[in-house]
């Protein structure tokens, strides 16, 4: 039994668009949606729950995460209700529902706060470097002393009194602490999501073995996003895949395996480490530039409406990638002082992007989406078992 909550529409409207009433349930959007099926009438059934003010049903609903915002439904809606954007708004709202800290809600609804927090973390990283890891005075008087035999900059030796290994150790310790912080927050929020969307179902209980049987879906959907590829605009899926794979490669290189990658050796351009870096950089920049231009031009329905979190995400990722490119070329060109300052700037942008965006804002969809597919499979498998109906694809 779901109670009616008259404040739901107003509450959800704070996270983006609030055009719920424009929908008169013709069902055209669901017919147009390539991801809709007999158990997930995307997006119409979610819009219906919202119009009725069924808060607990909306909190249980995984359909907003099964939508990849291809925009087909918005193109066909004769009421101009923009159902694709309604689903986007709901994803922001649900992110705040899963986030037990309440920080996502503040970031999404009090628009300037996220920007100030990002600027605060940026300043903190710069201050920590200035206080604890300031550039060596020699950097300006005798920069040649910091060049390696290959002519590039010895990046781990730019700070006085700390050996190369100790420097990487300090940055790595910070990396691990940051990864733990992000990981614990995300895991706790995903558990919260699971209690809302799977455990709270009173009609059925998911058999324990199904959690193992469906686990490959989680990995598969995280890696390839096959549902996204079903949308009519395949180019968008391809571009998104390039960016996501590039970002994952970068994350592994600079967070998980830092000591292996931040060494003093300047590899030739065809070395696998550099090629991986170039792939990741190209993947991120290519897709990001297309999205940024389309958001500015506002001609594509799915990128017509931009929330401040969309722009913060683009700007942070763009600055991180561009500063990483500059850092790389300053280093291999043998410019130690410029390399140090670019290194600090790069980390000062990267850190807020990771600790603000990943657990609390736009980046969190990276985790919620594949888990939503996994949880939806669990729910569907339990319904199939209860009703003895055949499996569907």
**Closest among 217, 263, 262 to 376, alpha carbons compared:** 217
Strand spans (E) along 85-213: none
Kindly state the smallest distance separating residue 144's Cβ from ligand SF4, in Å: 57
User: Is 25 or 165 the residue whose CB approaches ligand SF4 more closely?
Assistant: 25
Give contact residues for ligand SF4 (rule: CB under 6 A). 23-29, 32-33, 35, 42-44, 47, 67-73, 77, 79, 81, 83-84, 87, 231
Q: How remote is the C-alpha of 41 from its chain's centroid?
A: 25
User: Is 25 or 297 the residue whose CB approaches ligand SF4 more closely?
Assistant: 25
User: Is 81 or 171 the residue whose CB approaches ligand SF4 more closely?
Assistant: 81
Kindly state the smallest distance separating residue 66's Cβ from ligand SF4, in Å: 8
Question: Hey, is 37 helix, strand or coil?
Answer: strand
- Alpha-carbon distance of 338 to 374, in angstroms, equals 46
Write the CA distances from 10 to 17, 42, 65, 78, 362, integer angstroms.
Answer: 10, 22, 21, 24, 21
Kindly state the smallest distance separating residue 234's Cβ from ligand SF4, in Å: 13
Kindly state the smallest distance separating residue 321's Cβ from ligand SF4, in Å: 27
Scan for tokens 């099964």, then name that residue: 66
User: Is 29 or 353 the residue whose CB approaches ligand SF4 more closely?
Assistant: 29
Instruction: Give phi and psi for 199, each to the nearest 5.
Output: -65, -30
Kindly state the smallest distance separating residue 97's Cβ from ligand SF4, in Å: 19
Kindly state the smallest distance separating residue 284's Cβ from ligand SF4, in Å: 24
Structure tokens at 33: 């949606």
Kindly state the smallest distance separating residue 58's Cβ from ligand SF4, in Å: 15
User: Is 43 or 336 the residue whose CB approaches ligand SF4 more closely?
Assistant: 43
Question: Hey, is 298 helix, strand or coil?
Answer: coil
User: Is 264 or 310 the residue whose CB approaches ligand SF4 more closely?
Assistant: 310
- 130-169 burial, b at 16+ Cβ within 10 Å, e below that, comes to eeebebbeebeeebeebebeeebbbbbbbbeebebeebbe
- Alpha-carbon distance of 231 to 227, in angstroms, equals 7
User: Is 44 or 377 the residue whose CB approaches ligand SF4 more closely?
Assistant: 44
H helix or E strand, kind and range, residue 344: helix 336-352
């Amino acid at each position: 039994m779901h109670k009616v909550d008259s404040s739901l529409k107003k509450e959800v409207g704070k996270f983006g668009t609030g055009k719920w009433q424009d929908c008169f349930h013709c069902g055209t959007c669901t017919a147009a949606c390539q991801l809709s099926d007999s158990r997930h009438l995307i997006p119409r059934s979610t819009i219906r729950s919202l119009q009725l003010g069924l808060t607990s049903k909306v909190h249980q609903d995984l359909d907003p995460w099964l939508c990849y915002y291809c925009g087909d439904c918005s193109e066909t809606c004769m009421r101009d209700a923009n159902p694709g954007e309604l689903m986007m708004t709901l994803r922001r709202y649900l992110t705040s529902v899963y986030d037990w800290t309440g920080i996502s809600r503040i970031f999404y609804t009090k628009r300037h706060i996220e920007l100030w927090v990002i600027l605060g973390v940026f300043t903190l990283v710069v201050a920590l470097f200035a206080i604890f890891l300031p550039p060596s005075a020699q950097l300006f008087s005798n920069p040649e002393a910091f060049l390696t035999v290959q002519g590039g900059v010895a990046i781990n030796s730019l700070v006085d009194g700390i050996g190369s290994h100790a420097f990487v150790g300090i940055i790595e310790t910070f990396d691990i602490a940051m990864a733990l912080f992000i990981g614990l927050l995300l895991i706790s929020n995903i558990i919260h999501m699971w209690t809302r969307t799977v455990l709270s179902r009173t009609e059925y209980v998911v058999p324990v073995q199904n959690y193992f049987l469906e686990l490959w879906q989680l990995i598969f959907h995280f890696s390839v996003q096959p549902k996204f590829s079903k949308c009519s605009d395949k180019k968008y899926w391809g571009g998104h895949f390039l960016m996501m794979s590039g970002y994952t490669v970068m994350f592994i290189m600079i967070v998980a395996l830092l000591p292996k990658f931040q060494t003093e050796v300047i590899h030739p351009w065809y070395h696998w480490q550099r090629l991986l870096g170039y792939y990741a950089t190209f993947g991120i920049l290519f897709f990001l530039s297309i999205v940024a231009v389309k958001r500015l031009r506002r001609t594509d329905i799915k990128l017509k409406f931009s929330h401040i979190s969309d722009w913060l995400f683009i700007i942070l990722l763009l600055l991180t990638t561009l500063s990483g490119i500059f850092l790389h070329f300053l280093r291999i060109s043998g410019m130690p002082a410029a390399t140090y300052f670019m290194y600090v700037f790069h980390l000062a942008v990267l850190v807020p992007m990771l600790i603000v965006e990943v657990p609390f804002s736009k980046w969190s969809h990276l985790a919620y989406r594949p888990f939503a597919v996994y949880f939806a499979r669990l729910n569907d498998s339990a319904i199939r078992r209860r009703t003895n109906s055949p499996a569907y694809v």
